[in-house]
Copies of this chain bind each other. A is one copy, B any other.
């Protein structure tokens, strides 16, 4: 089928009946322009948070399979209401859950990964002239258990569907009108990017820019799905996320991100034996906890401190595991600290431009901000700092790289000669 458009609408775009009608109108516009439309929708507003709260009133650590059973209802409500709103506008629409579409995932509840997307039901409905509304964030295992894809999983649903039905376009509608060089709420003169590469977007998303889920970007890169991030409230062009030609790939730094969903753990006085780090991180990996920054400090002969970060959401579970492993290893003590934040710069051009990291450290030093941990990759530099200084840090670093001047595509990069 030709010309299919996949549109994804986040929770804030469908948070009440009024907004659902607004989204319905946009979808109907696209449909009336002659394109088959598949819309992927998240749960309304803070529904997911309410459901989590309800579960916690029953159980401090609810079984993950049942959490997925519970959370999947959020999107099911949105798709039904959106299909109603579209039919109210006179077009035929049909809502489908993840299970009904056939979004098959592995069995890792609450963080499931998509393994296969069936297209027969969607294509059959589109061929009958219907608008298809799909519940984001959810799938089903081959054994018929409901799963969810983790935070922001609806983006991944949209990209996976776009790849599966070979859509012409994949539009991610959100409450901002594109990807910015920094969060405009913190940095009022942040610039909107006309485009960003998959690699840069992946780092931006991983480092705290909430516009897109990292896994969705990864998936888009893998299948060559061109994304467009747009506002569901305006008509701006948004930001395109795509592969890059070498000519375009000239911007040194495209953005500054900050992430408060970080917590630090320190295992103090671990015996400095081979296999110690493996023991600890294998135990965390076994519980599907992602460890981010890791620093090992040798303090004296035969003991070291092991410092690492996890998401704040994972802190309680991590602490339990780390306490036990630390006891077994004979470490003195374990400390944790949730009052940290990670500030990062991202840009594919920094590979070929030395001095970028130094400029960032300088900007932080000037502001009297202490760097607790540094981690770098080819296209990003991250610094762990005190959470209370995060906003100031973003503004200082944004300024240091003149990102307010990062003009639309084709303009000269301020860091280039």
A residues engaging B (CB < 8 A)? 17, 20-21, 51, 54-55, 57-59, 62-63, 65-67, 69-70, 72-73, 76-77, 79-81, 83-85, 87-88, 94-95, 97, 99-100, 121, 144-146
Q: Would A80 and B67 count as touching, CB distance under 8 A?
A: yes
Q: Which residue of B lies closest to A57 (CB)?
A: B17
**Cβ–Cβ contact B62 & A69, under 8 A:** no
Say what secondary structure dominates the interface of chain A.
Answer: helix
Shortest beta-carbon distance from A391 to chain B in Å: 37
Contacts of A100 in B (CB 8 A): 144-145
- Chain B residues within an 8 Å CB radius of A57: 17
* Least Cβ–Cβ distance between A46 and chain B, in angstroms: 15
What's the Cα separation between A51 and B84 when bound, in Å?
Answer: 13
Among A57, A58, A67, the one with the most B-chain Cβ atoms within 10 Å of its Cβ is A58
Most buried by B among A20, A21, A81, A94: A81
Q: Hey, which chain B residues are within 8 Å of A99, CB to CB?
A: 99
Given contacts A54-B77, A69-B76, A69-B80, 17 further A-B contacts (CB under 8 A): A17-B58, A20-B58, A21-B58, A54-B81, A55-B80, A59-B84, A59-B88, A63-B87, A66-B80, A67-B80, A69-B95, A69-B97, A70-B76, A73-B73, A73-B77, A100-B144, A121-B144
CB neighbours of A20 from chain B (8 A): 58
Residue of B nearest to A87 (CB): B63
Q: Which residues of B contact A84 (CB under 8 A)?
A: 55, 58-59, 62-63, 66, 70
Give 6 CB contacts A-B under 8 Å. A17-B57, A69-B80, A70-B77, A70-B80, A73-B77, A76-B76
- Docked Cα-Cα span, A95 to B145, in Å, equals 10
Q: Name the residue of chain B whose CB is nearest to the CB of A67.
A: B80
Interface pair A81/B88, CB less than 8 Å apart: no
Please report the C-alpha to C-alpha distance between residue A65 and residue B94 in the assembled complex, in whole angstroms.
8
Q: Closest B-chain residue to A78, C-beta based? A: B70
| Residue numbers in B under 8 Å from A80 (CB-CB) | 55, 66-67, 69-70, 73
Contact of A88 among B58, B83, B87, B145 (CB under 8 A): B58
Which residue of chain B lies nearest to A75 when distances are taken between CB atoms in the complex?
B73
Q: How far is the CB of A117 from chain B (nearest CB, A)?
A: 16
B residues in contact with A69, CB < 8 Å: 76, 79-80, 83, 95, 97
Contacts of A79 in B (CB 8 A): 69
User: In angstroms, how far is the closest chain B Cβ from the Cβ of A98?
Assistant: 12
Q: Which of chain B's residues has its CB closest to A89's CB? A: B59
